[in-house]
Amino acid sequence: MAADKPSSKGQAWFCATGLPSDIIIEVDDMTFHLHKFPLISKSRKIDQLIEEQGKKSSTVTVTKQKQRETGNEIEEEEEETEEYQDQQDDEEEDRYQISLQDFPGGSDAFETAAKFCYGVKIDLSSSTVVPLRCAAEFLEMTDEYSEDNLISKTERFLSQSVFKNLKASIKALKSCESVMTLAESLGIVERLIDSIALRASSTDPTLFGWPVNDGIVEAKGTSAQALWNGIETGLRRKALARTSNVESWFEDLALLSLPLFKRLISTLKRRDLSPEVIESCLMSYAKKYIPGTSRSNRKPSSSLAAAITESEQRELLETIISNLPLEKTHSSSSTATRLLFGLLRSANILNSSESSKAALEKKIGFQLEQATLDDLLIPSYSYLNETLYDVDCIERILGYFLDGLEERNAAGIEAENEGNNDNIINSSRLPALMLVGKLIDGYLSEIASDANLKPEKFYNLAILLPDQARNFDDGLYRAVDVYLKAHPWIPESEREKICGVLDCQKLTLEACTHAAQNERLPLRAVVQVLFFEQLQLRHAIAGTLLAAETAPMNAGRLSGTRRDDDEEEEQQQDEEERVAMSRGEQGSTTWRVAVRENQVLRLDMDSMRTRVHQLERECSTMKKVIQKIEKENPRGSGWRGSLNKRFGCKFKTQVCDSHESTVTETRRRRHHHHQE
């Protein structure tokens, strides 16, 4: 039965067929003026309700007639009024009024079902098919009652369009929230979750990874090569389309409520999906609903995130942390690590459980080489910490990183014992350790200016890394210099302990030159720096002289060999002679460069030797003065004040005594070396 286009007037809905409506159905705050015959032809529920209401109306009419026959005499005006009311009552009795309480899908779903009853073509989508399926179940619109009814139509759409598409299944699962009870009883929720898990497991694993934005940038960068004379090719379009689909997939997934999301993640883990898929889903959901996950955007990314309470945010955060794969995934990147640090900050703010914080710190520790200095600067949210940044947290994370490194070392040893090639393991292990070493040096330089940072914390964090983490100690020296500058009140013993973290053999010439003139360093550290700087100069000069001596010999040997071997053919002999002459010229050039570098190094060594002699003379003079003062004042009273007035500095006697033997032995070894 075809119908004209329906119309909605305020809170009333009319079907403009030209015939007066004979049934009124109320759904929520909407009133539908319809006709009973199209409805009862498709819905068994409405047919039963109309039949029940018809029996009640007939009983009421008989009762009214009996009251009029047995009533007292009424005046004429009252009789006319009663006749008019009877006419109105008869018209109302001809219209059936039905109220559908708690109708699944609300007035929108009933409107679509009513259009279907009138024969109007309806458009189904992944967001509307589930509420409409539940409405059809409520109205009992089965194929047994009427052929090709609404239940079979919605089921076909679910099977052919929704369950076969990942994004459509997620949108349909989102729509189940408004009709959860009926959708659960019909098994729609379970089928949708299974469909999402199945489609996610069969999707290209390269699509899952963080960040999605980085993936788009990479796709744009790679697809930019797929341009031919400025014309966009199909390869570029496919790459951009694929990355945009991935981004929309995560956005749709983040719209699910927390109970549905937890059920989905549990199903994904039961199906043994790859950790990359699960981690990407969790991080996308966290970024959507937990504010503060990104330092660039402290505000929540949706209005729902601002609406949820603190306890709900804590529950959501702990759920995400408990489901994160502990092992390092192949999709780990700097952005994924940045999000993990954002979750850790949020966990501190929301006072999450200690187990959740520990699990998150361990997860970060396994991929610490992907972090940046900005990620490590976690503020101290506890009043118990006096420092500006949470140094204890970074120390724990670094400990987890080293523990994971030991496990990988053990795995490498086992692989080597089994005969496997461990070059791959070493190549992936050492760069990660060196990256973390550079990162910790930068972190130490950043926190060194904190006046409340204790020397013990600085020292413990500095010595936590092994020697292989640093090729050069210049970054660590910079951190030590900043710390000594910001803490001038610490005693000399603490200064020597702080400087003990440095390996003077790993300092470059620039760092050695700066350290030799650094007044904040203790005298012991300065002498060590000068000694190793002179040692470096000696090695450099020896290496230069050796290279300069071997270069002409190798060039002459090559020339003589080629002359002896190429006597058979005259043309080849000429070519070899020209090559030999050119190599001889290169050898002489190398010799001149080596001599010039040797002269420069000798000048630097002479200046450094002069500096060492000056320090030795000063130390010897100080010792003589101290001995003279001790002879004049045997009890030692007032000798420090006289030294302060004479030299304007404070020092301890054991400083010079501890270094005199070292300097003397160094000079003896140098003299013995010259004699040899």
Structure confidence by residue, pLDDT tens digits, 5-38: 455 545 777 776 667 788 889 998 888 888 889 8
pLDDT for residue 236: 47
Residue 228 has φ and ψ, to the nearest 5°, of -120, 110
Q: Of the spans 76-85, 87-96, 429-438, which averages the highest pLDDT? A: 429-438
Per residue in 303-344, pLDDT (tens digit) is 555 567 888 889 999 999 999 987 766 556 778 889 999 999
**Is the confidence at residue 550, as pLDDT, over 70?**
no
For residue 496, what are the CA distances in angstroms to 452, 462, 492, 521?
19, 14, 6, 8
Token pair 């369950």: residue: 163
pLDDT for residue 656: 37
Position 62 confidence tier, pLDDT thresholds 50, 70, 90: very low
Task: Identify which of 148, 134, 111 has the alpha carbon closest to the alpha carbon of residue 25.
Answer: 111
pTM over 0.75: no
Position 624 confidence tier, pLDDT thresholds 50, 70, 90: confident
Is the Cβ–Cβ distance between 250 and 243 less than 8 Å? no
Check residues 55 and 407 and name the one with the higher pLDDT. Answer: 407
Per residue in 373-403, pLDDT (tens digit) is 999 999 998 777 788 999 999 999 999 999 9
Is the Cβ–Cβ distance between 332 and 370 less than 8 Å? yes
pLDDT for residue 53: 78
Is the Cβ–Cβ distance between 27 and 103 less than 8 Å? yes
Which of the residue ranges 79-93, 208-222, 239-253, 592-606 would you say has the lowest mean pLDDT?
A: 208-222
Position 110 confidence tier, pLDDT thresholds 50, 70, 90: very high
Position 157 confidence tier, pLDDT thresholds 50, 70, 90: very high
pLDDT for residue 579: 42
pLDDT for residue 180: 94
Is the Cβ–Cβ distance between 349 and 381 less than 8 Å? yes
**Is the confidence at residue 193, as pLDDT, over 60?**
yes
Secondary structure class of 105 (helix, strand, coil) = coil
